[in-house]
Amino acid sequence: MAEELIPLARPVLSEAEEQAVIEVLRSGQLSLGPKLGEFERLFAGQVGAAYASAVSSGTAGLHLALRAAGVGPGDEVITSPFSFVASANAIIYCGATPVFADIDPVTLNLDPAEAEAAITPRTKAILPVHIFGYPADMPAFERIAQKHGLAIVEDACEALGARHADGIAVGGRGNPSVFGFYANKQMTTGEGGMITLGDGAMKERIDSERNQGRAPDMGWLDHDRLGFNYRLSELACALGIAQLARLEQMLADRARVADRYREALAEIDGLSLPCPDADGDVRGWFVFVVQLPPGVDRDAAIAALAKAGIQSKPYLPAIHLMSFYRDRFGHCEGEYPSCENVAACALALPFHPLMGDEDVSHVAQALKRVAVTALRP
């Protein structure tokens, strides 16, 4: 019998989600209806933010949040090269330039000292990414931003459920913070995103710009600024409301799977595991990314795992070394050594709330074999 494939990620969806979507379908109101505000209020409550604006994707949310923070043509925004490409792309959408700074080799997040050293007279904002759900050092970034008069936008797309040492949930500090609801995230709406924030005027601007620049008090065809169509449908909002109701359980299940992985992988020599929570910061588990021992060929490892029915992938590649970024900005190897070292050996393993202990053991056993057989020639 062919073994079932263990996928990298998998959403948790059941009857509650089906019912919620069917209800919206039957209502006939498929966009800009009552689910939008309800989803926004519930999500803001979840992270302790004053406001939230739902948008069509995390990427759209980053674009609108950067615009609301005042980022425009000619500006520079300092961000992490170790992220999903969307965080840097959104800066380019604004006509601004992403300026990278190296990461902390332990947390894998943008290093505040490196970020401060990258400030120039054109710097407008800092865009820290809470990578793999581990909280970026926001108190440090907030001090730097205040000292230099910069705005902050947080990419929290991987960090729902994470918490800072000061007790504030990621997304709840008042800085515009962007979450994503693609199917591999902690919760999903199929496609979708949310901006949480503490400034009501900023929410008004974002809500207008996601809806073609229409002001809330204007007629249907009146537009007082440039806008986009970044709306989130009622179907997606209903799905999001149903997912929020099971969020705590899904987060607890992810944390359980991470604990199992930690135990099962402990004895592989040279394998580096995700950093444990330290100094009061709490990770919101999104992916389980290991760094392969020196000498292990990652491509060979991925092929060997695939043969055992296990999906895995290099995660993440360094953004500045992607061909578009090399061509456009002249980036090359050696600029951000910590990022490049991690990117060269990082491997995402299957990780989702429905993974059982047997699945984790199976992956761990296969990885153990790989660690001794997939050595570089």
Ligand X SMILES: *Cc1c(COP(=O)(O)O)cnc(C)c1O
Binding site for ligand X (CB under 6 A): 57-59, 83-84, 86-87, 129, 155, 157-158, 180, 182, 193
**Residue nearer to ligand X on the CB measure, 86 or 364:** 86
Pairing of strands 76-79, 288-291: unpaired
Spacing of C-alpha 222 from chain mean position: 35
Starting from the edge strand earliest in sequence, which strands make up the sheet with 51-55, in order?
Answer: 51-55, 193-197, 177-180, 154-155
Cβ proximity to ligand X, 134 vs 371, nearer residue: 134
Min CB(60)–ligand X separation in Å: 7
To ligand X, the closest distance from the beta carbon of 185 in angstroms equals: 6
CB-wise, 170 or 268, nearer to ligand X? 170
- How far is residue 275's CA from residue 288's CA, in Å, rounded to a whole number? 11
Q: Of 173 and 362, which has the nearer Cβ to ligand X? A: 173
User: Reduced to 3 states, what is the DSSP secondary structure of residue 170?
Assistant: coil
Question: In whole angstroms, what is the distance from residue 192 CA to residue 52 CA?
Answer: 13
Whether the CB-CB separation of 304 and 373 falls below 8 Å is answered with yes
CB 133 within 8 Å of CB 284: yes
Q: Name the residue nearer to ligand X (CB basis): 51 or 182.
A: 182
CB of 178 to ligand X, least distance (A): 7
CA distance 304 to 320: 29
Q: At what angle do helices 234-245 and 247-265 cross, to 10 degrees?
A: 60
**Exactly one of 185, 203, 307, 313 is catalytic; which is it?**
185
State the minimum distance, in angstroms, from the CB of residue 134 to ligand X: 12
* Those residues with Cβ within 8 angstroms of residue 109's Cβ, 6 or more apart along the chain or in another chain: 80, 103, 128, 129, 130, 131, 134, 135, 136, 137
In order of 4, 129, 193, 363, 364, the CA distances from 1 in angstroms are 9, 43, 40, 19, 21
Strand 123-127 relative to strand 151-152, pairing: parallel
User: Residue 86 or 187: which CB sits closer to ligand X?
Assistant: 86
Least distance in Å: CB of 338 to ligand X?
17
Vertex 288 angle, CA 285 and 290, to 5° = 140
Smallest distance, ligand X to C-beta of residue 348, A:
11
Q: Tell me the three state secondary structure of residue 124.
A: strand
The residue number whose beta carbon is nearest to ligand X equals 58
Distance in Å, CB of 187 to ligand X, minimum: 12
CA 354 to chain centre: 20
* Residue 158 or 234 having the CB closest to ligand X: 158
Number of residues assigned to the chain? 377
- Cβ distance to ligand X smaller for residue 61 or 227: 61
- To ligand X, the closest distance from the beta carbon of 15 in angstroms equals 25
Q: How far is CA 343 from CA 292, 326, 362, in A?
A: 11, 16, 25
Q: Is 185 a catalytic residue?
A: yes
The one-character DSSP state at 48 is: T
Instruction: Report the catalytic residues.
Output: 185
